[in-house]
Structure 1
Amino acid sequence: MSETVLEKALVVAEACADAARETVIPHFRTSLQADAKSDDSPVTVADRAAEKVMRSILEDALPEHAILGEESGMSGHEGDWLWVLDPIDGTRAFLTGRPTFGTLISLFHKGRPVLGLIDQPLTGERWIGLAGQRTRFVSARLPGQIGTRICPVLGQAELSCTSPEIMTPNHAPRFASLQKQVRRTSWGGDCYAYGLLALGQIDVIAECTMNPWDWGALVPVIEGAGGSITDWQGKPLTLESDGTVLACGNPALLTDIVNHLSHPGTMG
């Protein structure tokens, strides 16, 4: 897999992000109605329309690639290449008028994400990760420089998670164990928090019940910024992963973090 292949795919991914941005913005802070999906998470006409327009671009440009979208499932022929789409990651934030949602676009090659794009339509921020390359941050208005913060010890770390409600009874005490070791915990952010980790503003993010469309785009972005992103056992994320996601700005802290997540209440 050459850099040329990824750069060509990136042109298509950015076209998808641009189209999704134009589709989503007109719906922001309107009296939008949400339907509940089978997992009780909300979905809106904006989610569906944004995924539809991205699928259309991908089907025209790369008809040999398969597509997996949060709203419309799998389409196309099985093969080495799979696009994974989340048109609005953070629909709850979107519905309540908070600009911390984002569009996630990723390209998997043989089960591994090799291209990831996080786009925040309202702020105009975009994070682009390509396997083996330094992450790029594009922003016309807001400052930011790619590079995770090398937090020296866990006791100085800023921990983040989208919501305590995503924690299952099994995961909640393990997360609480980690919380006791860090400087403080902030809630909210969805995919935007991972962009902030890539900019050195957050040190650790631990979440669970995540699907491939939730984390696929994050992997190249975090790794290309100098961080690590794994499951809670420290293993690489795959399409068969258990839904836990652990992003760490300083990979040297990974073993310590995994120990706290694995043994709630026993680590001092």
Structure 2
Amino acid sequence: MAADAGPFAPHQCMARQGSVTQIPTHTPAMRGRTSRTRNIQMTVSTGAQTAQEFVDFSHELADASRALIRSRFRKQIDVEMKPDDTPVTPTDLEVETLIRDMIADRYPTHGVIGEEHPDSAAGAECVWVIDPIDGTRSFIAGRPVFGTLIALAIGEVPVLGVVDIPITQERWVGATGHSTRLNGEVARTRQCAAMSDAILLATSPEYLGEDAAQPFARIAGESRFNIYDAGTQGYGLVASGHADIMIAARYGIVDYLAAVPVIEGAGGAVRAWDGSRLNLHSGDRIVAVGDAARLPEALALLAQNDAEG
């Protein structure tokens, strides 16, 4: 896979050896984070990174995280509750630390935004966005639909995404300019002639929240049927043409940014509810469609109900 023009162009993420620069760091508001700008010093290294190099490295990250998670699945595990009343386990923390250490060792100038630990150099040109166990409740309960989400944003735009389901050993990888692949085979979304034909996936009602309930109900009423608590695997099911729409609210970028290159590289589209493209500063509501022709209708339904609410 050769390097592409655009976000993966060789000039991105390169600088002279040993130079030191002041980089403004903008940390997006999400899951308790507040927007802030600060200056940090970082030493940048030589050379350009190609698309294939990043894709290969993302597989290394997913391989390492998968091995650790599989060794802990359905074992006795300690659970603590975070300030936002969501659970966390030692495995969540260990997996994120493992991924962060691997990134720091390979790409010391890259930033990292993660679910469980403070942001690191979040204003860098290249930023990895990771959720070590997306679906911790399912992991705790022994349900195999949770996964690891890994994204790479260049210039704040997601250009590489990995959706890895450790227990079922499914891995979707999408990169700008290339077809999404599931375990090495090309994945494609399916056509959906009308909203009434669509299989709709969504987070659980408690995650949607009251303010998103009415917009969701409108789309659910138009769809063929809906499935709650689709989990991380839902992104892959849309990318592989088994479902048509996925809706989420009260999400942080760690929960969805990896899905953007995966679903769009398979022929679909992922947007914020207001129709904007997603980046490091996007909000907490997203809609993914397998057939991009259904996107305007989905956005219109969401906007209509937002206005009514």
Q: Structure 1 residue aligned with 2:251, among 210, 216, 221?
A: 210
Structure 2, gaps ≥5 residues long: 1-7, 11-48
Establish whether residue 255 from structure 1 lines up as the match of residue 296 from structure 2. yes
Question: What pairs with 1:75-94 in structure 2 (closer than 5 Å)?
Answer: 75-76=120-121, 78-94=123-139
Cα contact 1:64–1:77 (8 A) shared by 2: no
2:86 paired residue number: 41
Q: 2:97 aligns with which of 22, 29, 52?
A: 52
3-state DSSP class of the match of 1:74?
A: coil
Measured against aligned partners, the alpha-carbon deviations of 1:119-149 in whole angstroms (never above 9, x if no partner) come to 111111111111111101107xxxx861111
- Which segment is superposed worse, 26-35 or 120-129? 26-35
Q: 1:233 to 1:78 in 2, by over 3 A?
A: closer
Distance 1:38 1:205 in 2: 27
% of aligned pairs identical?
36
The residue identity in structure 2 corresponding to 1:225 is: A
Q: Which among 135, 155, 162 is matched to residue 110 of structure 1? A: 155
Q: Supply the distance in 2 between the matched residues of 1:156 and 1:51 (Cα, whole angstroms).
A: 39
Q: Which residue of 2 aligns with 1:129?
A: 174
Alignment check: 8 A CA contact 1:223 1:229 kept: yes
Amino acid aligned to 2:146:
F
Match of 1:174 in 2: 215
1:33 offset after TM fit, Å?
Answer: 2.0
Shift of 1:239: 2.1
Q: Confirm or deny: 8 A CA contact 1:63 1:76 kept in the other structure.
A: no
Q: Output the CA distance in 2 between the equivalents of 1:34 and 1:6.
A: 38
Q: Which amino acid aligns with 1:175?
A: F
Question: Which TM-score applies when normalising by structure 2?
Answer: 0.81
Give the corresponding residue for 2:107: 62
TM-score by length of 1: 0.93
Contact 1:176-1:264 within 8 A present in 2 as well: no
| Length, aligned pairs only | 263
Match of 2:191 among 150, 164, 169: 150
SS in structure 2 at match of 1:31: coil
> Mapping of 1:230-241 within 5 angstroms?
230-241=271-282
Structure 1 position 266, deviation (Å): 9.6
CA distance in structure 2 between the aligned counterparts of 1:177 and 1:266, rounded to whole angstroms: 13
Q: Secondary structure at the match of 2:210?
A: coil
The yes-or-no answer on 1:15 pairing with 2:22 is no
8 Å CA contact 1:127, 1:137 repeated in 2:
yes
Distance across 2 between alignment mates of 1:123 and 1:232: 31
Partner of 1:2: 9
**Higher mean displacement: 170-179 or 26-35:** 26-35
Residue matched to 1:183: 224
Query: Which residue does 1:120 correspond to in 2?
Result: 165
In the alignment, what sits opposite 2:43? none
Question: Which structure 1 residue ranges, 5 or more long, are not aligned?
Answer: none
- Whether the aligned pair in 1 keeps the contact of 2:153 and 2:280 (CA below 8 Å) is no
Aligned-pair RMSD on alpha carbons?
1.8
Greater CA drift, 163-172 or 71-80: 71-80
